[in-house]
Amino acid sequence: DGGITQSPKYLFRKEGQNVTLSCEQNLNHDAMYWYRQDPGQGLRLIYYSQIVNDFQKGDIAEGYSVSREKKESFPLTVTSAQKNPTAFYLCASTWAADPYTQYFGPGTRLTVL
Amino acid sequence: EDQVTQSPEALRLQEGESSSLNCSYTVSGLRGLFWYRQDPGKGPEFLFTLYSAGEEKEKERLKATLTKKESFLHITAPKPEDSATYLCAVRAPGGDMRFGAGTRLTVKP
């Protein structure tokens, strides 16, 4: 069963903690993306990666970091430098044959305690 | 600056009451307009891609249309299971995707 998985579904973070959100895809997609969704706002791009070992900052990269060591995996770390991390985080991917259509994972809801 | 505006923010319909959702954009050189459906607490589900003015696409009770400035998502005879937030996104020539804030649709039985 092909798809994009994100884990955990819910995550709680204490002040000063770094946390890592997982995103895995078995669709053989080339590019992967991380978005943040806040109530009443459109999705905002955090980071994206077109190929392994390469990634670019999106509109709101400050306080976040990523890695792309494997084609199927694109974890996002929310660092303590991110002052307002409570949000719904969405991972997406695209494949080379249709690079414009993004397919999304189920999301991770991060809450700061 | 590229912008995407969706209206209305929320829409309540009776089952069977047809209506339309609007997505207006200010992107020059559109490289695609995308519609997604998002259920509460879940990731967006891809519905349609439109590339040029005049293009239309249909899926069950949904029909998406595109002009040079806006797109409409027409919902014909909606059912309660059509209740969701509908997101619109546009891709600019640089490759960036810009998302609207969505329209929250509620269909009452």
Instruction: Give residue B29's pLDDT.
Output: 84
What residues of chain B lie within 8 A of the CB of A106, using their CB? Answer: 42-43
Report d(CA B71, CA B77) in Å as an integer: 19
- CB-based contact (8 Å) between B41 and chain A? yes
Could A42 and B34 be called an inter-chain contact, meaning their C-beta atoms sit closer than 8 Å? no
Portion 4-33 of B in contact with A at CB < 8 A: 4, 9, 31-32
The pLDDT tens digits of the residues spanning A59-82 come to: 999 999 999 999 999 999 999 989
The pLDDT tens digits of the residues spanning A86-110 come to: 999 999 999 888 888 899 999 999 9
Could B43 and A42 be called an inter-chain contact, meaning their C-beta atoms sit closer than 8 Å? no
Assess contact for A70 and A10: CB atoms under 8 A: no
Confidence of residue A83 (pLDDT cuts 50, 70, 90): confident
Q: Which two tokens stand for residue A41?
A: 């706002």
Share of chain B above pLDDT 70, in %: 99
Q: Give yes or no for residue B11 having a pLDDT over 70.
A: yes
Report d(CA B82, CA B61) in Å as an integer: 9
- CB-based contact (8 Å) between A104 and chain B? yes
- CB-based contact (8 Å) between B101 and chain A? yes
- CB-based contact (8 Å) between A71 and chain B? no
Helix (H, G, I), strand (E, B) or coil at A112: strand
Report d(CA A53, CA A74) in Å as an integer: 10
- State the SS3 of A32-54: EEEEEECCCCCCEEEEEEEECCE
CA distance B45 to chain A (A): 7
The pLDDT tens digits of the residues spanning B49-98 come to: 999 999 999 999 999 999 999 999 999 999 999 999 999 999 988 778 89
Share of chain B above pLDDT 90, in %: 85
Cα angle for residues A99, A102, A106 (degrees, 5° grid): 150
